[in-house]
Chain A
Amino acid sequence: MADVTNRDIDYVAPAEVEEEELYHAHSWITKYVFSQDAKVIAIQYSLTAIAIGLVGLVLSWLMRLQLGFPDYFSFIDAEHYYQFITMHGMIMVVYLLTALFLGGFGNYFIPLMVGARDMVFPYVNMLSFWIYLIAVLVLVASFFVEGGPTGAGWTLYPPQTILSGTPGSDGGIVLMLVSLALFIVGFTMGGLNYVVTVLQGRTRGMTMMRLPLTVWGIFIATILALLAFPALFVGAIMMLFDKLLGTSFFMPAIVELGEQLSYGGGSPLLFQHLFWFFGHPEVYIVALPAFGIVSDLISVHARKNIFGYRMMVWALVAIGGLSFIVWAHHMYVSGMNPYFGFFFATTTLIIAIPTALKVYNWVLTLWQGDIHLTLPMLFALAFIVTFVNGGITGLFLGNVVVDVPLSDTMFVVAHFHMVMGVAPLLVIFGSIYHWYPKITGRMLNEGMGQFHFWVTFLGAYAIFFPMHYLGFLGVPRRYYEIGETMFVPDSAQTLSAFITVMTLIVGFSQVVFLFNLVWSLFHGEKADPNPWRATTLEWQTPETPPGHGNFGKALPIVYRWAYDYSVPGAKEDFIPQNMPPSKVSGKKKTKPRRAKRK
């Protein structure tokens, strides 16, 4: 007991504080609900993100029904359509992918992979989830207020966002902005934890250059998020002021439907800069964890070290840094000073170089590997296909003058879905198949998994690949209907209907996936503690699923990097990071220690 009473301040009650190594839950509520254990928080984050993600998925069906069959669905009017796109976009990018990768995967894997018992600040970590949950509830509430959710597009560009010509410009937009602000507050708490835990919580021997790339990806992405989200926070608060207090941060003099409004002097472009200063790094906040994770999936299932580990780390760092000086490539036709185009096109195309190197290193890891075509590996391969495709179209859009005809067309929609929608989601699926055995102690059903994989991969590709060509034609995005034009042939409508049918099929296969998640929890085959024979620490825990404190009595000591697969001379084709050198070439099969602990 430490005596922390200060006799000089007698108006504050004296206190004695118990010293605690690690927080221990004492009741069911503190163990499973208001839990401070990163693994429980991770699952809470993931389930919430998946739940709200399902809303985003259903919205995409509704939008596709309208686009594929414009005259059939009278309940989808223009107002609803714009609300659907906005909520779909925001939900998918922020509330699903960001929350799942950082709040979900970050919480589960950072402590386990760096060899820590928990996050460094468990209490703040718990708060992070609960604030996220409130942010999600506020977002959901906006569906039920008068006027409905905002229909301003996920970019929320003023002035239209808060003017009456846009659906949901009263309650809807206010709740959206409040929800975003809450999300950022909650994320910051979690994010600080992830960064500090990687920097301070590593076990003995776990140097930075021995970290698995999964941790590197999440680590760099979190740093980006901590630096980028404040820009959105500022934008959201200022816009709230413009909406509620009548200030004019983003509002110039405006004549709305013949009526002079009392705004004046603000700058719509300022908001766009703030938004994209957040928005571009956001793309990488979603992409970098996927980069990291997929590197590990490929390495484990090809039984080969990731090719060029150091290059992979530096590429992550370089991409992260560069991602802060490319934001205005989203604004080439925004009316900003056109000379910015030279700078931002150059930085944008430079970022392609470290990105391309990562792709090369993934496929070079396959070269001379021992490729097990397991489900995680299949998803990793599919990721490479969609990421290469989406990355390439990014070179079109980044090259300022090429962007002029293509921006704001379906080409853009196809591009960003391929690169930041489908590609990261495929990694998420792959990692769920990979780590589910560790998290639940059971394997996912293989048959359902195969069905899910093939339909999702080929279906999503068939949705978004042809969509680029609608963009070449000049079909604009965010159009409730294209109607009669002199340049879009009727066949384009047939293509659009095909895309819609594929969307519904891919959507159905997600239902199978969810069913698999639940079914396998009870009926799945019992999993080995290390079914993929992987080297990283999360597979070496004494219990599966890992217990409170992760590693039993003693923390593991790390002797090597995370990629000792198929090392010549070693008995097994993998050497766990915590295996001492003396045991590597031993004659008998070395098993990870199994400390018994009740």
Chain B
Amino acid sequence: MIVAFVLLLVVIGSVGFHLISPWWWTPIASNWGYIDDTINLTFWITGFVFVAVLTFMAYCVFRFRHTKGHKAHYEPESAKLEIWLSVLTSLGVIAMLTPGLFVWYQFITVPDGADEFEVLGQQWMWSYRYPGKDGRLGKTDPRNVTADNPFGIDTADPAGQDDVLVQGEDLHLPLDRPVKFLLRSLDVLHDFYVPQFRAKMDMIPGMITYFWITPTRTGTFDILCAELCGVGHHAMRGIVVVEEESAYKDWLAQQPTFAQSLAKANAGTRRVSTLNAGGSVR
């Protein structure tokens, strides 16, 4: 009696908690509302199963609990029932998987004409590189990394000279333009994650990974590292500013190109390398 009641309370409590919980998605700031929709659909389907199965169980516990003289019914199996249940479950699975795969296809298919830029992760900081006037990012290799060339850009590649480098500063993105994030790491795995964008992807030394989004509202959002990357993992933060395209362009124009920063370094005003800045976390 009590047991059946508590089981029922667990069901009611779970659903109730879900309905009144103040903890839910942070408001979205990208085009991936489809992901939220898929999750809501999944909630409906699985929530129904959760309530149905556990309520049925609570009922059984209530109705068929042992009383004197009561005897169980003998019924080894029922092929018909099992087939019905398999079919219904399969339908539920298909209902969730189909939209899921459809949205996944969109997620991995970058629209033509998306802007590209690079995020560089290293213990425990973020840096960014934009392609500059020629619209192309220069080649890189970790073997090229020095204090003056923290991105490891190939100095022989002309496409690299006008690349715009952003270090120790916030990331800026223009509103409403599809943008492809090219993700690169110098040392260990990291993961570029902005909760409001509903997107994240690991960064792997030796590889370039990507995802794409279209920012849909202006604002300032946290960037977090979502793949354990050592003792400073939780402190590997950044900020992304989504703004109107004109403001974005003004900001970008103020950032140094690779050629400029090299020239500055060669002019003898050797700045202290920012490379080791992250080391202070330890």
**Interface of A toward B, CB cutoff 8 Å:** 78-79, 82, 151-153, 155, 157, 159-160, 163, 165-167, 252-258, 260, 266-269, 302-305, 307-311, 333-335, 338-339, 341-342, 345-346, 349-350, 352-353, 356-357, 359-361, 363-364, 366-373, 378, 381, 384-385, 388-389, 392, 395-396, 399-402, 404-405, 407-409, 458, 461, 465-466, 469-470, 472-474, 476, 478-483, 485-487, 489, 491-492, 495, 563, 565-568, 573
Q: Which chain B positions have C-beta within 8 A of A470?
A: 23
- Asked if B77 is at the interface (CB within 8 A of a chain A CB), the reply is yes
Q: Which chain B positions have C-beta within 8 A of A399?
A: 38, 42, 96-97, 100
Whether B232 lies near A401 (C-beta < 8 A) is: no
Which interface class (under 10, 10 to 19, 20 to 34, 35 or more) fits B? 35 or more
Q: Which chain A positions have C-beta within 8 A of B234?
A: 78, 476, 478-483
- Asked if B263 is at the interface (CB within 8 A of a chain A CB), the reply is no
Closest residue of B by beta carbon distance from A482: B234
In the complex where A260-B143, A486-B222, A566-B74 touch, is A400 in contact with B205 (Cβ < 8 A)?
no
Whether B228 lies near A309 (C-beta < 8 A) is: no
In the complex where A308-B78, A373-B66, A568-B74 touch, is A165 in contact with B123 (Cβ < 8 A)?
yes
How many contacts between A and B, using CB within 8 angstroms? 331
Whether A405 lies near B101 (C-beta < 8 A) is: no
Q: Which chain A positions have C-beta within 8 A of B70?
A: 370
Whether A335 lies near B96 (C-beta < 8 A) is: no
12 CB-based A-B contacts, threshold 8 Å: A258-B147, A258-B273, A308-B78, A335-B202, A339-B108, A357-B82, A368-B75, A385-B7, A389-B14, A485-B224, A487-B222, A566-B72
Apart from A335-B204, A345-B101, A371-B64, 15 more pairs, CB < 8 Å = A166-B188, A254-B186, A256-B187, A334-B204, A335-B207, A338-B107, A356-B49, A363-B53, A371-B61, A399-B38, A408-B191, A465-B14, A469-B21, A472-B24, A473-B25
B207 to chain A, nearest CB (A): 6
A237 to chain B, nearest CB (A): 21
Whether A345 lies near B97 (C-beta < 8 A) is: yes
Scoring B residues 201 to 215 as 1 if CB is less than 8 Å from chain A, else 0, what string do you get? Answer: 111111101000000
In the complex where A307-B75, A349-B97, A479-B233 touch, is A491 in contact with B22 (Cβ < 8 A)?
yes
In the complex where A369-B64, A396-B39, A492-B23 touch, is A305 in contact with B231 (Cβ < 8 A)?
no
How many angstroms between the C-alpha atoms of A113 and B195 in the bound complex? 52
- Asked if B262 is at the interface (CB within 8 A of a chain A CB), the reply is no
Whether A573 lies near B200 (C-beta < 8 A) is: no
In the complex where A165-B229, A258-B275 touch, is A335 in contact with B203 (Cβ < 8 A)?
yes
* 5 tightest A-B CB contacts, nearest first: A252-B206, A474-B195, A165-B230, A335-B209, A160-B188
B191 to chain A, nearest CB (A): 6
Whether A255 lies near B122 (C-beta < 8 A) is: yes
Q: Which chain A positions have C-beta within 8 A of B85?
A: 356-357, 360
Closest residue of A by beta carbon distance from B26: A487
Whether A405 lies near B200 (C-beta < 8 A) is: yes
Looking at chain B's contact residues, the main secondary structure is mixed
Q: Which chain B positions have C-beta within 8 A of A252?
A: 142, 204-207
Q: Which chain B positions have C-beta within 8 A of A163?
A: 187-188, 230
Q: Which chain B positions have C-beta within 8 A of A373?
A: 3, 61, 65-66
Whether A371 lies near B23 (C-beta < 8 A) is: no
How many angstroms between the C-alpha atoms of A161 and B66 in the bound complex? 55
**Interface of B toward A, CB cutoff 8 Å:** 3, 6-7, 10, 14, 17, 21-26, 32, 34-35, 38-39, 42, 46-47, 49-50, 53-54, 56-57, 60-61, 64-66, 70-78, 81-82, 85-86, 89-90, 93, 96-97, 100-101, 103-105, 107-108, 122-124, 141-143, 145, 147, 152, 183, 186-189, 191, 193, 195-196, 198-207, 209, 220-222, 224-235, 273, 275-276, 278-279, 282
In the complex where A404-B35, A404-B198 touch, is A333 in contact with B191 (Cβ < 8 A)?
yes
How many angstroms between the C-alpha atoms of A74 and B103 in the bound complex? 45
B245 to chain A, nearest CB (A): 23
Closest residue of B by beta carbon distance from A563: B76
In the complex where A305-B74, A335-B202, A476-B226 touch, is A401 in contact with B35 (Cβ < 8 A)?
yes
Whether A254 lies near B231 (C-beta < 8 A) is: no
A311 to chain B, nearest CB (A): 5
Partner of A349, one of B17, B93, B142: B93
